[in-house]
Structure 1
Amino acid sequence: MITSNKNAIKWKDSFLSILLFLVVLLLYQFFSHQRHLINPADKLLPTFSQIIDAFNRSTFIPDRSGTYRLWEDSVASGRRIYISLIFIFAGILFGVYMGSFKILDKLFYKFFLFFDKIPALAILPILFIVFGLGEVSKIALIVIGVVPTIILDTYLKVKAFPQEQLVKAITMGSSKTQTIFKIILPKIFPMALDSVRLNFKAVILFLISGEALAATEGLGYRIFVVRRYMAMDSIISYVIWIGILSLLVDVAICFWLKKSYSWYNK
């Protein structure tokens, strides 16, 4: 009896988790069907078959240059994100140091607090002028848009760290560096990683913004290229692909946190 109740609750929870997805798909199918009854050549709301066909063309059929667009764009965007993440994780380490050393706190806190309030897109023209239209400006946009937030978030977590643990470590003879890497960072890192996970949408936003204005390949670049031809089937397929990739990153980070930091998930 208990087992059947648990199964019923499990099925109910599973149904509720996908209910809104089903509602959105049904509404889209309804309005798409209505528009195509009026105009079979309608491009605003392509049918599901048209979206799937656009995805297949960009994924499995090479273009005139012999490249598979979706894979080429995914690799280009992925490379930019990978390089940006190196700076983002460096920001976590800097935030730990800034929260641990008073001189760094006094020197950098207000600077990053002010810099974090400046919209990164507002300085995009400056980045293009200073760094040109190449890869550096796109990566710099992501770094400037996300790293200050990560640094401040990590800094606040360090400041909220239980002081009695630090006093105990220092009393037992630990140096400042040992205290940071053996006590503070292991406790702070999973929370900082969670912050990176929650800010990943901002990473994608700045990536698409940079690619849309100056790029020859990338997911954001392709979306704005096909926009000129009102190719909504390709746009929607790319948007769904970006969502899937972002979700996979989120799931991977959550899985790693669960396996490596079970105490944090509890």
Structure 2
Amino acid sequence: MKRLINRQPSSVTRAFLGILPLVLALLVYQWGSTVRKAENPQDKLLPGFVEIHDAMERMALTPSKRTGELLMWEDTKSSLKRLVSGVAIAAAIGLTVGLLTGAIPLFGASLTPVITVISLIPPMALLPILFIVFGIGEVSKVVLIVIGVAPFLIRDLYQRTCELPREQLVKSMTLGANSGQIIFRVLLPQILPRLFASVRLSLGAAWLFLIASEAVASTDGLGYRIFLVRRYMSMDVILPYVAWITLLAFLIDCLLQQGSKRLFPWYHAAK
């Protein structure tokens, strides 16, 4: 008898098992909504799927009477612009500082303690300071994402650089490579795929900082819209917005994963 721990699902079974929890969650939600509506037809906590559809049609397909814009798509565009800018800057900082501190001991001895201290500061505690220094415009929101994500990327890539086999460096120096050649031709190609993995792990935190900054001070964005309509208990807007944010995060994660596989097939083949 084949042990359960050794049984591998087929592709069809894997897809079914992946979809099953989502279907069950929707069924449980529909049951809860039906029960609450039976007790109080005006209940707003668990709106029905018809109400959610009507709200999304109003937000995504009907131009705003005030601005003439499709609010959901404008919010999405604004949020994605801030998210991509913040994560890209954080990734550039994380790659540069993490690689240099891991490759050059003098840099590591100087910067590692400072980076450790910075990584322990709760980024949300800095939000009022960022608004005072940079104002309530786009810069403060992007900076919050950078401050929240960059220290994690730096520390992770520093550790990854230190874990690379020392024998590679010895062989490179034996062949006459200088420090720059070792960094750019030996270490950097091996760290780049790890950068993609680190960015994927930090996306959840990046979304958190984005939504928080938009909720506090913004005039558009997904986080702004959620916190704007909460005062009216508009769960028919809040719930699909949360689902939309989750879907966007999932798609970005898949895009990074596929991009890494295409750019660094040797790395994933080894895994």
TM-score band by shorter chain is over 0.9
Hey, what's the Cα distance between the residues in 1 that align with 2:10 and 2:151?
43
Paired AA for residue 16 in structure 2: F
Alignment correspondent of 1:98: 101
Hey, what's the Cα distance between the residues in 2 that align with 1:162 and 1:49?
58
Hey, what's the Cα distance between the residues in 2 that align with 1:201 and 1:95?
21
Hey, what's the Cα distance between the residues in 1 that align with 2:157 and 2:195?
6
Q: 5+ residue gaps in structure 2?
A: 1-6
Hey, what's the Cα distance between the residues in 2 that align with 1:38 and 1:122?
42
Paired AA for residue 169 in structure 1: S
Alignment correspondent of 2:161: 158
Alignment correspondent of 1:108: 111
Hey, what's the Cα distance between the residues in 1 that align with 2:263 and 2:97?
22
Q: Secondary structure at the match of 2:161?
A: helix
Deviation at 1:183, TM superposition (A): 1.2
Hey, what's the Cα distance between the residues in 1 that align with 2:11 and 2:79?
38
Deviation at 1:262, TM superposition (A): 2.1
* 1:217 aligns to 2:249 (yes or no): no
Alignment correspondent of 1:184: 187
Alignment correspondent of 2:76: 74
Alignment correspondent of 1:137: 140
Q: Retained in 2: the 8 A contact 1:58–1:70?
A: yes
User: 1:141-180 deviations in whole A, cap 9, x for unaligned?
Assistant: 1111110110010000001110101111111111211111
Deviates more, 1:97-106 or 1:228-237: 97-106
Alignment correspondent of 1:89: 91
Identity of aligned residues (%): 44
Deviation at 1:67, TM superposition (A): 0.8
Q: Retained in 2: the 8 A contact 1:52–1:237?
A: no
After the TM superposition, which residues 19-58 of structure 1 pair with which residues of structure 2 at under 5 Å, given as runs? 19-58=20-59
Query: How many residues are aligned here?
Result: 261
* 1:168 aligns to 2:156 (yes or no): no
Hey, what's the Cα distance between the residues in 2 that align with 1:53 and 1:185?
51
User: 1:156-210 deviations in whole A, cap 9, x for unaligned?
Assistant: 0001110101111111111211111111111111112111011101100000000
Q: Retained in 2: the 8 A contact 1:99–1:158?
A: yes
Q: Secondary structure at the match of 1:215?
A: coil
Hey, what's the Cα distance between the residues in 2 that align with 1:206 and 1:80?
11
After the TM superposition, which residues 191-202 of structure 1 pair with which residues of structure 2 at under 5 Å, given as runs? 191-202=194-205
Deviation at 1:125, TM superposition (A): 1.2
Regions of 4+ moved over 6 Å = none
Deviation at 1:82, TM superposition (A): 2.1
Q: 5+ residue gaps in structure 1?
A: 1-5
Deviation at 1:10, TM superposition (A): 2.9
Hey, what's the Cα distance between the residues in 2 that align with 1:143 and 1:153?
15
Q: Retained in 2: the 8 A contact 1:141–1:206?
A: yes
- The counterpart of 2:235, out of the listed 232, 241, 252, is 232
- What CA RMSD, in Å, does the superposition of the two structures yield over aligned residues? 1.6
TM-score of the pair, normalised by structure 1: 0.94
Q: Secondary structure at the match of 2:15?
A: helix
Alignment correspondent of 2:4: none
Alignment correspondent of 2:3: none
User: 1:92-121 deviations in whole A, cap 9, x for unaligned?
Assistant: 122101111122111110111111011100
Hey, what's the Cα distance between the residues in 2 that align with 1:10 and 1:80?
37
Hey, what's the Cα distance between the residues in 2 that align with 1:36 and 1:125?
41
Q: Retained in 2: the 8 A contact 1:99–1:156?
A: yes
User: 1:218-264 deviations in whole A, cap 9, x for unaligned?
Assistant: 11001000111110010011111111111110111111122222232
Q: Secondary structure at the match of 1:199?
A: helix
Paired AA for residue 259 in structure 2: W
* 1:63 aligns to 2:64 (yes or no): yes
Alignment correspondent of 1:147: 150
Q: Retained in 2: the 8 A contact 1:209–1:220?
A: yes
